[in-house]
Structure 1
Amino acid sequence: MEKCSRAAGPQFFLPHDAIRRPDSTTTQTRVVFDGSSKSQGQLSINEVLFTGPTVQPALLAVVVNFRMPKFVFNADAEKMFRQDSLLALRIYQLKTVTYGLASSPYQAARVLNKLAEDDGNNYPLAAPIVTKRFYVDDVLAGGDHLEEVAEACRQLQQLLARGGFTLRKWSANDAKVLQHTPCELWGTSTQTEIGRNTVTKALGLLWNPTTDQSGFQVPMFKDIDVVTKRIVVSEMSQLFDPLGLLGPVIISARIFVQGVWANLGVTWDEELPETESC
């Protein structure tokens, strides 16, 4: 970001807040922007942005007015509630892809595709990983031969470096795969820790690199006095299973939800009968 002055013409100031994630190894404090916020009777910035196509290979440019993604920073928190607090306000404009805007997921994917398109011929193992194995800012890839996977990791780092990107939190089920990766970029800090039963997250799932086994984090369900349809769906959705591997386990919960929908005729926030809520 860079400091700027307020210019003439349409502008949008992004509401934002800081989210703490103590379990993160790289970014424990992350700023979240709200591009869907709007004043009374006004449009939000997300309502006027073109989101771009949903399929990555499509080649359609999206341009965001550089003056639009701005935010206000109060340089002195002690003055926030004083009449002269405006003297402490500073205006900044963002120079990166801003998550919270409707067009940002497409822009991030398009940049990676363009990088593979321009320089992928020099990195034949990395190019298909960039175009097919990325999900937002996470990448999952592998192979049948150790030497090939290690070379793919080396090429991937070099290809992304061409765009100024550095991949972090590297993990592998064999430390030899990371021989070309600086230790400070590993998901764990030392090679000794790589060999321990260290569990990392891969797209929301748990993965033990040592045993090369995937797992699921079972949520701790709380005792609830009033059970509603909304609460039932919310509790069931806490068990993240994007691949459907837990289908045999959670099918009973899905059947229960289907029965509540079809037979009881209650609203989202209406308390379920005692026979169902128990």
Structure 2
Amino acid sequence: MNDLLGVLIRFRQRKVAIVADIEAMFHQVRMIDSDRDVLRFLWWENGNLDAQPKEYRMCVHLFGATSSPCCSSKALKQTADDNEKQNEVGKMAIETIRTGFYVDDCLSSVESIDVAKHLVQRLSGILSEGGFRLTKWLSNNRDVLDSIDESERAPSVSLFLDELPTERTLGVCWDAGSDSFTFQLTPKDKPMTRRGLLSVTSSVFDPLGIAAPFVLLARSLLQEVCRRGADWDQPLTEDEKKTWTQWLDRTSILSQVSVPRWVKLDITTAVQMHIFCDASEKGYAAVAYFRIEPDGKKPTVEFIIGRARVTPLKLVTIPRLELMAAVLAATLDSTIRRELSYSINETVYWSDSMIVLSYIRNENRRYKTFVANRVSKILSESSKHQWRHVPTKENPADEGSRGTYELGKWLTGPDFLYKDEAYGKRRWRQVQYLANIFWTRWKKEYLPLLQKRHKWTTPRQNVEVCDIVLLVDETMPRGRWPMGKVISVYKGKDGKVRSVDVKIAGGVLKRPIAKLCIIYRGSIAKDVNHC
């Protein structure tokens, strides 16, 4: 069975969209004789429970049975295999049956009106041979709808109005007239308890993450209620009631949210994916955009997917949460690439955490298990050269990690993505120039203070075993000087330490003390038995 998110992603690829539904899909797929006993049931004629019931078996798959969606999807794909043809429209129809259906819902997009008309006819013909009837057709183009019999169109389509309706497609509201996804949230009237909060927040279905920052506020409140150990039916505190009422009152804002369905992948060959990630005490988030450069036109930025999650109940440091957000960003990239029919030229990851970027770019230092596992996951899905720094004010994932009622940059992306690529390169070079200036001044002005030498007439503490030191190496680029621990010392005739052995991630190095900067005294570690 196809992944729901994958079907929605492919639905957004091309200009002309078509939607349909298989009528009573489960009842068109017969059960084999040996499995029919599983679906036995008793039947009382005319509802008379005093009469002797009759025993029946279902010969077709049943609505509500766990096996029905999988078995019906298999029958649908078998129909495609049995009717596979060699002409172009036939190939497209077969591919649509294989990748454009989620159970009984068909969502597809094509490049032109003519192709859409042929695809509608071809799909109906192929599926009718397998015993399936496609109905409730809807498209964002009136010409395509006019080519379909009135009885086969969606009931909401009017013959006398040019305006096209808004329909739910896989739980997402699609306005066919404006060809955009909208959001309609009408919370049920539930008691202000932990159970009521869970019921309302769980009813929000948002597979694309359009309203993820908004929903995060409610989930964060639910987490606070759980953290203080409230019972399921215990009333909320006054502050919690105030926060919850404010969230419910703001749900009407979501009706103004609109995200274009078409991401213009069929009219360009230059596609970049930009994924931003961030974390805060409330949650961590990642959001992905396509940067499209149509021929001869200005770049456009399209929202693809967003994810926002509350932080774990167990306290986790902000750097580790930032790392979890980076893992989420890498996962988004692999998901989109796996489900997309088009190739992406480049993926760029953005984070405002320099700690995370140093984790990813590290080549020598070993980390604890938590960090090492997540860095390994990130590097298995991406390359360290793809990761860049973005200021917090320009990071749209900041809205997702903190939660917000106003969905601004979360849906539109940062302003710098709308500028030409040369601007981004100039900006990157400027950042590198400033970093080089800082590194040069750090070496010349601050580092000598760590290496300060005193007169031999004044007794000073020698370098000791267990000291944590930074190894000065002018031949290495900035930020790559290794850090290690002193494991042995070599003294001169005067009893002063002249050189040491330092253990680093790649082995053991012998260095003179003039090339060391002491970061952490080993004597402190010995006092607390950490050495």
Q: Which moved more, 1:108-117 or 1:179-188?
A: 179-188
In the alignment, what sits opposite 2:98?
A: 131
Relative to structure 1, the CA distance from residue 192 to residue 221 in structure 2 (aligned partners, 3 Å threshold; closer, same or farther) is: same
> Hey, what's the Cα distance between the residues in 1 that align with 2:63 and 2:34?
13
1:71 alignment partner, one of 41, 51, 58: 41
Q: How many residues in Structure 1 have an aligned counterpart in Structure 2?
A: 213
The answer (yes or no) to whether the contact 1:183–1:189 under 8 Å persists in 2 is: no
**Runs of 5+ in structure 2 lacking a partner?**
1-20, 25-31, 243-531
Q: Is the 8 A contact 1:70 1:94 kept in 2?
A: yes
Looking at structure 2, the residues matched to 160 and 129 of structure 1 have their Cα atoms a distance apart, in angstroms, of 11
Is 1:243 the counterpart of 2:208 in the alignment?
Answer: yes
- 2:59: which partner in 1? 95
Alignment partners' CA distance in 2, 1:230 and 1:188: 37
Separation of aligned partners in 2, 1:147 and 1:223: 49
1:64 CA drift (Å): 5.7
What's the offset of the Cα at 1:173?
A: 1.1
Structure 1 residue 167, shift from structure 2 partner = 0.9
Deviation readout 1:220-264 (Å, 9 max, x if unpaired)? 44263xx322211211122321211111322211222233333x1
Q: CA deviation at 1:131?
A: 1.1
Instruction: Measure, in 2, the Cα distance between the counterparts of 1:154 and 1:168.
Output: 12
| Residue in 2 that maps onto 1:182 | 149
Structure with a larger share of its residues in helix: 2
Task: Choose the corresponding residue for 2:222, options 209, 234, 257.
Answer: 257
1:208 CA displacement: 2.3
Tell me the CA shift for residue 114 of structure 1: 1.1
Q: Note the C-alpha offset of 1:26.
A: 10
Partner of 1:163: 130
- Segment of structure 1 superposing worse, 241-250 or 89-98: 89-98
Contact 2:22 2:133 in 1 (8 A): no
Contact 1:69–1:94 at 8 Å: present in 2 too? yes
CA distance in 2, matches of 1:95, 1:141: 32
Cα pair distance change 1:91/1:181, threshold 3 Å: farther
For residues 1-278 of structure 1, the aligned pairs below 5 Å read: 65-77=35-47, 79-80=48-49, 82=50, 85-86=51-52, 89-121=53-85, 123-188=90-155, 192=159, 195-222=162-189, 224=191, 227-262=192-227, 264-278=228-242
- Would you say the 8 A contact 1:154–1:180 is kept in 2? no
- Report the Cα distance in structure 2 between the residues aligned to 1:64 and 1:141, rounded to whole angstroms: 36
User: Quick one: distance in 1 between partners of 2:130 and 2:224?
Assistant: 52
Deviation per CA, 1:190-210, whole angstroms, max 9, x where unpaired?
661573342222112222222
Structure-2 residue corresponding to 1:19:
none
Identity of aligned residues (%): 25
What CA distance in whole angstroms lies between the structure 2 residues aligned with 1:212 and 1:179? 18
Helix, strand or coil at the partner of 1:150: helix
Distance in 2 between the 1:90 and 1:139 partners? Answer: 38
| Superposed displacement of residue 189, structure 1 | 7.2
Q: Distance in 2 between matches of 1:236 and 1:64?
A: 43
Structure 1 residue 71, shift from structure 2 partner: 2.1
SS at match of 1:168: strand
TM-score by length of 1: 0.67
Distance 1:234 1:188, change over 3 A: same
Find the aligned partners of 2:147 and 2:164 in 1 and give their Cα distance: 22
Alpha-carbon deviations, 1:4-60, whole Å to 9, x = none?
xxxxxxxxxxxxxxxxxxxxx999xx9xxxxxxxxxxxxxxxxxxxxxxxxxxxxxx
Structure 2: distance between partners of 1:261 and 1:239 = 19
SS in 1 for 2:184: coil
Measure the CA separation in 2 of the matches of 1:275 and 1:169.
47
Deviation at 1:139, TM superposition (A): 1.0
Secondary structure, counterpart of 1:141 in structure 2: strand
